[in-house]
Amino acid sequence: MKYAHKGPDRATIEIAWEDEVSQFRDCRYIAAAEATWRLLELPIHHHEPPVIRLQVHLLGQHLVNFNPSEAIENIMAHTAREETMLTTFFSKNETCSEARNYTYQEFPQHFVWNYLEKSWTTRKQKGSAIGRMHFVTPSAGEQFYLWLLLTIKKGPKSWEDLQTVNGTLHESFYHACSANSLLLHDEEWRLTLSDAAYTYTGKQLRKLFVIIMIQNVPSEPHLLWQEFQTELCDDLYRQLTRSGFVNSSIKDIFDFGLFLIGSLLIEHGSHLCNFPSMPIPIKNWEHFDKNSFIAEQLKYNTCLEMDLAN
């Protein structure tokens, strides 16, 4: 529209306090071509074929409209019953054999989504619409792996069906993507960490590792962690010793390193849970990270204290 109705060039130069409202009013003008087009009431734009935006969400994580004054029991019941584009896509595949020939993106070419009834019906004019899934960033974790599976698998009947590859039900969408060979290898990030380990301290390496996890989303971050956990935690033994943990084991050091990596991820708006393959810290290091005096008082041997109490 910009160039179809573009009139003669115009420039305004003025030295004054900036006033966005006045500036908009002054710069907005209608050229002869656009004025004639609007007076004749001709269509301004044409969109063909229509593009259907497809929802992508995890189980029980779809958007729900509700009245805040309504009872919480009614809201929960309504949420459990509510259907979405994705859940009805599964249901349609269960009842219609024709639907099982298409992926989620191909579905709108053969079926029409009824927004009022929240159901898919057979399209009379095949191929007159295009389906496009909402983009999901790789840092979204399981939702991104769900998005990947929906691009290739035809006719899934349920969430479990999406996680099933060659008859094997995998524990997560990440593992299903890995079984489908949808994830690239991480050789680039392995070389990056290997080179950085020669000059970077453990603290710097942990920051680099978090950047790699957030910005580049390696397919198997747990393997990178297992290979470089010694370098990533090379400064933590001294840190634990100075804070009173004299007999810190290797497991404690690596566990504390995982906690620090998780803290950095939280600072960047992410979490270790978004990377299903990554291990989770066993101990609660939050007191130690914030107040070493509290941590020192909590580091007693619980088994020994129980024996003494008995």
Given phi > 0 = left and psi -120 to 50 = alpha, else beta, which region is 221? alpha
**146 vs 13, higher pLDDT:** 146
Q: Mind listing the pLDDT tens digit for each residue in 85-120? A: 999 999 999 999 999 999 999 999 999 998 888 899
Q: What is the pLDDT of residue 289?
A: 52
Whether pLDDT at 177 is above 60: yes
pLDDT at residue 302, rounded to an integer: 65
The pLDDT, as a whole number, for residue 89 is: 94
Mean pLDDT of 46-64: 86
Mean pLDDT computed over 214-236: 86
Average pLDDT of the chain to the nearest whole number: 83
* Alpha carbon 297 to chain centroid, angstroms: 39
Evaluate the CA torsion angle 48, 51, 117, 107 in order and state its sign.
positive
Check the CA dihedral 232-234-240-246 and report its sign. positive
**Whole-structure pTM value:** 0.61
Pairing of β 168-169 and β 119-122: unpaired
State pLDDT tens for residues 8-42.
777 777 777 777 887 777 777 778 888 898 899 98
Res 292: pLDDT: 56
Cα–Cα distance, 298 to 243 (Å, whole number): 12
- Would you place residue 161 in the very low, low, confident or very high pLDDT band (cuts 50, 70, 90)? very high
Inter-residue contact 118 to 130 (CB < 8 Å): no
Mean pLDDT of 148-174: 91
Which CA distances in Å does 265 have to 66, 132, 172, 205, 207? Answer: 32, 30, 21, 14, 9
User: CA 21, CA 17: separation in Å to the nearest integer?
Assistant: 12
Q: Which band of pLDDT confidence, cut at 50, 70 and 90, is reported for residue 73?
A: confident
The whole-number average pLDDT for the span 227-251 is: 82
Better pLDDT: 61 or 78: 61
Q: Look at 260 and 14; give whichever has higher pLDDT.
A: 260
pLDDT at 217: 73
Residue linked to tokens 């497991």: 251
What is the residue extent of each domain of the chain? 1-46, 51-179, 187-305
Euclidean distance between CA atoms 133 and 156, whole angstroms: 16
3-state secondary structure of 9: coil
**Tens digit of pLDDT for each residue in 279-303?**
888 887 876 655 556 555 655 666 7
